[in-house]
Amino acid sequence: MNVEQQNLFRFLVGLGDDAVVLSHRLSEWCSNGPYLEEDIALSNIALDYIGRARMFYQYAAEIEGKGRTEDDIAYLRDERQFTNLLIHELPINDFAFTMVRQFFVDVYYCEYLKQLCESKDERIAAIAAKAVKESRYHLKRSEPWIRQLSEGTEESRRRIQAALVELENFVGELFIMSDWEKELVEAGIAVDREKLQAGWDQYIQKFLAESDLEFPDSQLQIRGGRDGIHTEHLGHMLSDMQYVQRVYPGLEW
């Protein structure tokens, strides 16, 4: 691979990692949802993210050209080789936490993927065009949930506010670019995430003000995901997610 291909490969694996990790977290609600419809909804959103991960990994594997498959990339890499942004890997916690995270990333992806549709790389643009429709639908569900929980009981409101405080520490990373990703922006392939922050802040602040919720102003910016430096949680998650392939290598469904 030349430098451009290496950058493209990293870029695709990063996006695939974001999707597969969040997908696994969402799937942890399967059979644990607060009621049946929610259980099904969270599992369906997990499915959308699995599809997204597959499309990015398949393309990454082709670019790499070493005969690896999407499954090899998902199941046979270690924690430090995963390059997802950290917000995706945090444990599901309670329902309020899961929904605030979903709301945060839905708002982010709606804009990010919309811009990625303009990528000069046609395949990436096609994946983005498919995924952005799904994220818009996810937002139609996560946003009313935050409103509903904030207007619910004192307890539901307290939980929403606590989730906002915790998750805000991981938002900054969504908008931090590394040099190699900036090169891809210059080539017209990637999106400049730094430029998305103002719009994201504005959207969230307006929404929270309407719901009379406080927007926590975090001084802390926890980062490192794209460089393979993770919270303590990812390793535990992978030991669960990769268990079967590690114990029975090559096992097929």
Q: Does 252 engage in binding with another protein (CB under 8 A)?
A: no
| Nearest distance from C-beta of residue 119 to another protein, angstroms | 12
How far apart (Å, rounded) are the C-alpha atoms in residues 174 and 88? 10
213 is a contact residue toward another protein (CB under 8 A): no
At residue 25's C-alpha, the angle toward residues 46 and 72, to 5°, is 80
- Answer for the pair 173, 86: CB distance below 8 angstroms, yes or no: yes
| Beta carbon of residue 97, minimum distance to another protein (angstroms, whole number) | 20
Cβ 127 to another protein shortest distance, Å? 6
The reply to whether 110 sits near another protein by the rule CB under 8 A is: no
CB of 150 to another protein, least distance (A): 19
Phi, then psi, of 229 in degrees rounded to 5: -100, 120
Q: Which stretch binds another protein (CB under 8 A): 41-49, 149-157, 160-168, 198-206?
A: 41-49
The region of 74-82, 117-125, 157-165, 166-174 touching another protein under the rule CB under 8 A is: 117-125
Number of residues interacting with another protein: please give it, by CB under 8 A. Answer: 28
Contacts with another protein, 48-87, as mask; x by CB under 8 A: xxxxx-xx--------------------------------
Among positions 31, 66, 122, 252, the unique one binding another protein when judged by CB under 8 A: 122
| Cα–Cα distance, 87 to 85 (Å, whole number) | 6
CB of 48 to another protein, least distance (A): 5
In whole angstroms, the minimum distance from the beta carbon of 140 to another protein comes to: 7
Subset of 138-197 contacting another protein (CB under 8 A): 140-141
* Residues 124 to 143 in contact with another protein, rule: CB under 8 A: 125-127, 129-131, 133-134, 137, 140-141
Residues that bind another protein (CB under 8 A): 37-38, 40-41, 44-52, 54-55, 122-123, 125-127, 129-131, 133-134, 137, 140-141
